[in-house]
Structure 1
Amino acid sequence: MKLKISMFYLFLYLGMGSFMPFMSLFLSERGFDGASIGLILGAGSLTGIIAQPVFGLINDAAKDYRTLLKVSTFLSAIAAFGYIFSESFIPMIITAIVFSFINTPAGTIVDAIAVEKGPSFGFTYGQVRLWGALGFAFVTVIAGYVYNSIGYQYSFIAFSIFAVIMFLLMFSFPKLERPKKAELLGKEGVGALFRNRNFIFFLVITMVISGTVTMNFSYLPIYFQKLNYPVDLVGWNFTIAAVVEIPLFWLSAKLIRRIGLFPMLILGTLAYAIKYIVMGFAPPVGVILSVQALDGLAFAFYFSSVIEIVNLMAPRDAKATAQTMFAAAGGLAGIAGNVIGGLIVDYQGPQFLFWMMGCIICVGTLFFIVFPKKGSYHLPTSSQESATGA
């Protein structure tokens, strides 16, 4: 099972890396300004808010999670072509909405499976998620040069190929047993999560962080374009970050047990803040590329911790629901990040955007530092994992 989930992550992030880092450049190439780009990207995030809780509830209640993933990956491969044939704003935003809704389940459901079932199969989330970082690192460095030569519309063809591979891979996945009678499903499961004040507080803070991460991901290519850095080096930014993520995801469980979930989370957000503030100075391109290593450290530390914390906060039979609520909260922040980021790039410039992002991350970090009872969240010991696996 570990190998199958690892391969799914590999192709999932090969697909994501083949088009997501270049979306803003693709839209700019099609003639859209920063505000329009923000609205198109934000429309996808809004769709995710609606779709993710729905799919989370379906996944928690479903007898076989594979059906949803097969439908998602196959239809995503088809929907991606809508971007190629959309020339004006309305068709493009409709494509973004349809594609986002169809593509939503894959990542969040696999995350929930990896966190919930990993201990019984002898692996941690970080050990399988690192394959996603490997795929992302591999494809982005090549894609940056290729698309700059042949056009960014070809990114969606690459995504479709990887989505078909994921669809075929699902036929090799085993059917995982689920409880015969779930204790918390539907409204009851969601209600239990909403009554957990710490969970809601945690979601709000992560929304703040997610909004800035979205701005970075969406507008880093525009930052390069508007500040006259070589655009064909955009892919290297994401590759450097992903290469750093790989060993850190592998070591994440050991690092978390050594220093704790929240301390690791705080280190991740501080790394984000330092990176954004440095980029606000618009230093030479060599410095820009160097600080992307901080992005890899931040992503690995932050997301390895936050996924586990959400899992620990959730009731036993609402794990996927909690993960999708977390993802939906990130989607809400993504809407704000994309729309506000586009406006700021148009009216204040990309340097101001990154200065602002650094300040926002600092505020989020302070809230993590004062989070109530943060020491009570920790991974099970190795002996506990062995017992679970037995």
Structure 2
Amino acid sequence: MTDITTLSFAQKSRRLSPMYAAYFTLFGVFTPYLARYLTAQGLTPQQIGVIVATVFGVNVFAPFLFTLISDRTGQRLPLIRIGYVLMGVFYLLALKSGDFFWYLTVFGLFGVFMSAVLPQMEGVALIVLGKDRSRYGQIRLWGSAGYVVIVWTLGAALDRYPVTILPVIGAVLCGLMWASTWLIPKETRLRAEDRTASKGLENAFIDWPQVVILMAVVFLWQLGLAPYNTFFDLFLKDRGFSATTIGFLISFGSICEIVVFLFIASWFQRFSERLLIVFALGITVVRWVLLANLEQSFALALLIQGMHALTFGVVHSVAIHRVGRLFPPSRQGFGQGLYVSMGMGVGLICGNLIAGWLWQGTGIVYWFAAAMALVATLLAYYGFKPIRSQG
């Protein structure tokens, strides 16, 4: 049995990176093109908004399906593997033609397990990384790399092939995700004596006011990201951008995000979490305002996507880093589950419902996104305080 405390960072990276690469490659198949797929099945923008809101809305409760078990037993990998298999099954079922309620059910169940495995992945990564936790971004960047490759490749493929290729590719990726987990050390759980020692003390060390403020910022941030995740493809398509160009633009945003993940560890040493997230959210406000006024300028679209490095790369890294410090090791599954629940759950379900209601092919949805990012910026500026590290 591998002792994870003796592994070098390079060894940890080789074991964790494939899991992140496969998971977020699947994300690149699913998220940017789901609206296009559902449009091809004859669904309306309002119906699409409800389905996407449901997929991400299950994050409100789904992360805790596995969390209660994993935090008690420390056994996360078996649960992750079960989740990957069920994701592949439900994604394949989307190939069967159906009505609105069929796709709502299939993609809703897919979303349940997609969100249930994510906090377990993050918990595994933080435990394996241990003292190298600040270098999390260097692991996460492989997820962005996979996302870049698949989005760009699919953008070109969808100019030539029907959108029905998406569920097939997604199911194959679920299989690769399952296979990647066998590279991770089996002993990624807290020892029983460590869990016993922390029992009764863990809540005393959690700065709950700061947890609430962080989750509120994450909620507002994801409210603004929802219109981008769901309607960016259609927004650019309505302005004459080809699928190949759209795929490149989405990929370019993730490439810029990778650059952030390469340097974020050193930034944590030089700057406070508060400064990093306030700056990133402020740039996000500018990004959504520019996008709301975008017409047919490829150069402006490229600039807007370059800002994704801050919109997602920095904000997500700060959030993960801060959760890792706010919660003790024995509660990491719960902390990551709460982050996913409030951000990708409550934030995205509300954001997608509002975006579907506002969507008219105009920039109004991105004015809404800018307003939410502005409130998040102010809350982080006035609300973030120093916290006691959990080690």
Tell me if both proteins adopt one fold, taking TM over 0.5 as the criterion.
yes
Distance in 1 separating the partners of 2:358 and 2:44? 12
**Partner residue, 2:356:** 342
Residue-by-residue CA offset, 1:43-78 (whole Å, 9 max, x unaligned): 112222111123222221224211111111122111
- The worse-fitting range, judged by mean Cα deviation, of 231-240 and 292-301 is 231-240
What aligned pairs does 1:294-313 form with structure 2 within 5 A after superposition?
Answer: 294-313=307-326
What residue ranges of structure 2 are gaps of 5+ in the alignment? 1-11
Distance in 2 separating the partners of 1:185 and 1:352? 49
Report the AA paired with residue 178 of structure 1. Answer: L
**Partner residue, 2:81:** 70
Change (3 A) 1:237 1:264: same
CA RMSD of aligned residues (A): 2.4
The match for 1:90 among 101, 105, 118 is 101
Distance in 1 separating the partners of 2:205 and 2:367? 34
Distance in 2 separating the partners of 1:342 and 1:147? 24
**Partner residue, 2:248:** 236
Distance in 2 separating the partners of 1:317 and 1:353? 40
Distance in 1 separating the partners of 2:365 and 2:202? 35
Distance in 2 separating the partners of 1:271 and 1:29? 34
Count of aligned positions: 376
**Partner residue, 1:292:** 305
Report the AA paired with residue 109 of structure 1. Answer: Q
Compare the two structures and name the one with the higher helix fraction. Answer: 1
What aligned pairs does 1:2-21 form with structure 2 within 5 A after superposition?
Answer: 2-21=13-32
What residue ranges of structure 1 are gaps of 5+ in the alignment? 381-390
What aligned pairs does 1:69-148 form with structure 2 within 5 A after superposition?
Answer: 69-120=80-131, 124-148=135-159
Report the AA paired with residue 312 of structure 1. Answer: R
Distance in 1 separating the partners of 2:104 and 2:203? 33
The match for 2:328 among 315, 321, 330 is 315
**Partner residue, 2:339:** 326
What aligned pairs does 1:205-284 form with structure 2 within 5 A after superposition?
Answer: 205-284=217-296
Report the AA paired with residue 348 of structure 2. Answer: G
1:138 Cα offset (Å): 1.1
- The worse-fitting range, judged by mean Cα deviation, of 169-178 and 159-168 is 169-178
The share of aligned pairs that are identical, in percent, is 16
Residue-by-residue CA offset, 1:112-170 (whole Å, 9 max, x unaligned): 22233313468721110011111111111111110232122211211111110121122
SS of equivalent to 1:282:
coil
Change (3 A) 1:193 1:230: farther
Change (3 A) 1:123 1:315: closer
Change (3 A) 1:284 1:251: same
1:31 paired to 2:45: no
Distance in 2 separating the partners of 1:91 and 1:355? 32
